[in-house]
Amino acid sequence: MLAINLTELDLDREWIERDRSQQWRSQLPYMDHPEVESLSVVYFEVDPGESLALHTHDEDEIIVLLSGSGEGIVGDEARPVSAFDMVFVPAHASHGVRNTGDEMIRAVGFFPTRSTDAVFEHPVMPHRVRTFMTDELPTGS
C-alpha cells in the first residue's frame, strides 16, 4: 500500500509578487512514485487572509477541502466553501480559493492524468514562471 501522511509533507511556498496576499503552500505527494500512472494529486494550504491565485488546467479537477473555510472561485462564480466540501472544476476554467476564515484551508486536488499543467495569470514566485507541468515541478524543498 502506498500511503502518505499529508501532515508530513515538505510543502513548497509559492506566491504572486505583485500581490503578496496571493500565497500558498503546496506539494505533489505522489509525483515521485512511478506506480501512480493514471492520476495526479496536489495538496495545498492557504492561511487566513491569503489566497491560491487564479489558474487553469487542461484537465478537469476535483478539489476536496479538508479544513478551513473561504470563497471558492470557478470561472465567473464565487461561493462559500468549507471543510468537507467537494468542488468540481471543469478543464480550462479559471479557479482559485480565498481564505476568509480563521483557520488554515487544507485541500487536495485530483486530476485524471499523470501530468497536468497549471497556468497562472501572473508569474509564480520563487519559480518566476506562469506555466508549470506537474511532472516538472519540484517535489520538496
Nearest alpha-carbon partner for 83 in 101, 96, 95: 101
Residue 12 included in any domain = no
Residue 1 included in any domain = no
Q: Which CATH number goes with the domain that contains 110?
A: 2.60.120.10
Distances (CA, A) of 59 to 48, 56, 74, 130: 28, 9, 14, 17
Who wins on pLDDT, 95 or 139? 95
Predicted confidence at residue 138, as pLDDT, reads: 46
Task: Work out how many domains the chain is built from and give that number.
Answer: 1
Q: Report the half-sphere exposure of 85 (CA within 13 A, side-chain side).
A: 17
Residue 14 included in any domain = no
Predicted confidence at residue 115, as pLDDT, reads: 85
Residue 83 included in any domain = yes
Q: Lowest-confidence range among 13-22, 24-33, 54-63, 128-137? A: 128-137
Distances (CA, A) of 87 to 60, 65, 97: 11, 8, 11
Residue 7 included in any domain = no
Q: What is the mean pLDDT of residues 116-136?
A: 88
pLDDT confidence tier of residue 37, bands split at 50, 70 and 90: confident
Q: Give backbone dihedrals phi and psi of 7, rounded to 5 degrees, phi first.
A: -75, -10
Q: How far is CA 100 from the centre of its chain?
A: 17
Residue 10 included in any domain = no
Predicted confidence at residue 136, as pLDDT, reads: 55
Distances (CA, A) of 91 to 7, 17, 20, 104: 29, 26, 27, 26
pLDDT tens, position by position, 92-125: 999 999 999 999 999 999 999 988 899 999 999 9
Residue 125 included in any domain = yes
| Residue span of the structural domain in which 63 resides | 24-136
